[in-house]
Structure 1
Amino acid sequence: MTRPNEPKDAYELILNAIDIGIYRPGDRLVESELAERFGVSRTPVREALQRLETQTMLTRDGRSLIVSSLDHNQMAELYEVRAELEGLAARLAAKHASVEEIKVLHAMIEEDRKYLNQPRELSIANRRFHRQIHLASRNRYLVQQLEMVHRSMALLAETSLAADGRGEMALAEHLAIVQAIEKGDAASAERRLKEHLSFAFETRLKADAGEIGAGDA
């Protein structure tokens, strides 16, 4: 069932469910079940599924649709694009962010500490933090592109924040980014954000290597 503040459009409902992890990579999406879950008719659900398939968020498996997953090369390509776009967002935020926006970013970091032992909740909070930087860039076209990139991030099976100690490190990296933005140091803000994503990517690679090793043992 939907809540009062949740989107009512079938496309947005399904996309949001993928984004927050209700449906994970490899999960099969059934038209009738989605219609019942979200309280909408099957026609808009069917149209939403077709749209998500076109956007490669869903993959056809015989006659069924499943949530897509990213292979190693796709993940590397996604992080490369994300680093460039987010680095630019941080650079622009250092030039344009208001005092109020910077205060909000600091508050987010402190608030997110309560999620250090809750990787899924910390991941959701992490997206909110990054989106706040995107908005502070004052560039609507950049924000649109980053929304597409972050949508694809939902196709990664696990959050890198689930790794031991990664949450604490990520918040420290967030603080360094915000401090650079606060100082108006565009070059430092861009560098700090790119480093932050580099560490996240490295964590994912190590986790994947560990999973492969465990499977082969």
Structure 2
Amino acid sequence: MIERPENLTDLVFTAIRKRMIDASLPPGSSVSEAMLSKDLQVSKTPVREALLQMRQIGLVAPSGRGLRVVVPTARIIRDAFEMRAGLEAAAARYAADRATREQKNELVELAQASAEVADDFEAFRDADTSFHQAVAAAADNAMLHKAVEDAVVLTQVLRQRDVHVERDFTPDSREHIRIAQAIKSGDGAAAADRLSEHILRIMEQLLQAFGGKATGDGGLRPAELRSPA
């Protein structure tokens, strides 16, 4: 059951996303507004609003008269991460020019904090999210910030559910530090390049774990073709 919050739609969104990640709502499954409303003990309105957001992000898609959880393909993974790389590169460029001194210092601290937990998957995941959110916030562009948030949600579901890989995240944290240093020094071009390279490197690792490069067909493949974690 979900308790009544200030923003019920956001909590419903989070609850549905969690079900996608833990495969309670596996790829290809139908999404019932009525069933989710009953399970979460909320009205249909916040469920409908949350599912609309998920459709816009790319987590669910129309299927007949209803919705289904999108089945991942290599093409979907590639498209999602390339989109995120472009958006976050722009955010890093703006952040280098617009971030306050406090924000720049915070980015360095967050990057260093991610290095301290590079061998702990759960802790690093949280530190990684905090760092990328801080870069987006420092860009001082509300529309870009929202676009980055949506891209992060999509890629996190793909990464945690479909190609979950536990490893040493030291290279990631080192890249965080280099990105933060570029932003702090006001070098927007370097910050953008480093952040884009960071996201695209992760994309290549995930594509390899998924089972190959994008085929370009854009179709929906059966879940059995997903590589094991």
Greater length-normalized contact order (CA 8 Å, ≥ 6 residues apart): 2
Alignment partner of 2:11 out of 1, 5, 13: 13
Q: Which residue of 1 aligns with 2:49?
A: 48
Alignment root-mean-square deviation, CA: 3.3
- Structure 1 residue 181, shift from structure 2 partner: 0.8
Q: Which residue type is aligned with residue 125 of structure 1?
A: A
Q: Which residue type is aligned with residue 162 of structure 1?
A: V
The CA deviation string for residues 141-192 of structure 1, in whole angstroms up to 9 with x for no partner, is 2223223322322441537783422x11111100000011111111111111
* 1:32-47 matches, cutoff 5 A: 34-41=36-43, 43-44=44-45, 47=48
* 1:1-217 matches, cutoff 5 A: 1-2=1-2, 7-9=7-9, 12-19=10-17, 21-24=18-21, 25-26=26-27, 29-31=31-33, 34-41=36-43, 43-44=44-45, 47-48=48-49, 51-52=52-53, 54-55=55-56, 56-59=58-61, 65-113=67-115, 115-158=117-160, 162-165=165-168, 167-209=169-211
The CA deviation string for residues 100-122 of structure 1, in whole angstroms up to 9 with x for no partner, is 11222222234334643443453
Which is worse superposed, 47-56 or 121-130? 47-56
User: Are the structure 2 counterparts of residues 189 and 50 from structure 1 closer, same or farther at C-alpha, using a change threshold of 3 Å?
Assistant: closer
Q: Which residue of 1 aligns with 2:216?
A: none
Using the alignment, how far apart are the partners of 1:213 and 1:4 within structure 2? 37
User: Are the structure 2 counterparts of residues 213 and 146 from structure 1 closer, same or farther at C-alpha, using a change threshold of 3 Å?
Assistant: closer
Using the alignment, how far apart are the partners of 2:204 and 2:140 within structure 1? 30
Number of equivalences: 210
Task: Tell me the percent identity.
Answer: 26
Do 2:183 and 2:191's aligned partners in 1 also have CA atoms closer than 8 Å? yes
Unpaired segments ≥5 residues, structure 1? none
Using the alignment, how far apart are the partners of 1:213 and 1:51 within structure 2? 26
Using the alignment, how far apart are the partners of 1:95 and 1:145 within structure 2? 19
User: Are the structure 2 counterparts of residues 77 and 190 from structure 1 closer, same or farther at C-alpha, using a change threshold of 3 Å?
Assistant: same
Do 2:20 and 2:157's aligned partners in 1 also have CA atoms closer than 8 Å? no
Unpaired segments ≥5 residues, structure 2? 213-223
Could you tell me the TM-score, scaled by structure 2's length?
0.74
Using the alignment, how far apart are the partners of 2:54 and 2:19 within structure 1? 18
User: Are the structure 2 counterparts of residues 39 and 213 from structure 1 closer, same or farther at C-alpha, using a change threshold of 3 Å?
Assistant: closer
